[in-house]
Amino acid sequence: MNEVPQADSPAGNRLEVVDCLRGVAVLLVCFLHLTVGANTSFAADSIIRRLGSYGWLGVEIFFVISGFIIPYSLHRAGYQPRDYPTFLLKRVLRLDPPYLFAVLLIIGLNYLVTLAPSFQGEPFKFSLPQTLLHLAYLNTFFDYGWLNPVFWTLAIEFQYYLAVGLLFPLLAHKSLFVRSGLYVGLGLLAGLLPEERFLCHWLFLFMLGMQVFQWRVALSSLRSFGLGLVLLSMGAWFTLGPLIAVVGVGTALVIALVRYQHPALLFLGAISFSLYLVHVPIGVKVVNLGTRYVHGTFGNLVLVALALALSILGAYALYIWVERPAQRWSSAMKYGKPASLP
Question: CA-CA distances (angstroms) from residue 15 to 31, 170, 231, 254, 329?
Answer: 25, 25, 26, 11, 22
Residue 54 has pLDDT above 60, yes or no: yes
pTM above 0.85, yes or no: yes
Q: Judge whether 27 and 52 are in contact, CB under 8 Å.
A: no
Summarize pLDDT for 227-237 with one digit per residue, the tens.
999 999 999 99
Average pLDDT over residues 242-256: 98
Rounded distance between C-alpha atoms, residue 281 and residue 98, angstroms:
14
Break the chain into its structural domains and give their ranges.
Answer: 16-331
What's the N-to-C CA distance of the chain in angstroms?
A: 26
pLDDT at site 16: 94
pLDDT at site 197: 94
Rounded distance between C-alpha atoms, residue 72 and residue 216, angstroms:
8
289 pLDDT band, cuts 50/70/90, is: confident
Rounded distance between C-alpha atoms, residue 8 and residue 19, angstroms:
11
Alpha helical stretches, state H, 172-292:
176-192, 203-216, 222-240, 242-257, 263-270, 272-278, 285-290
Rounded distance between C-alpha atoms, residue 260 and residue 149, angstroms:
31
Q: How much is the CA Rg of the chain, to the nearest whole Å?
A: 20
Any idea what the Cα angle at residue 52 is, between residues 49 and 58, rounded to 5°?
165
Phi (first) and psi of residue 64, to 5 degrees: -65, -40
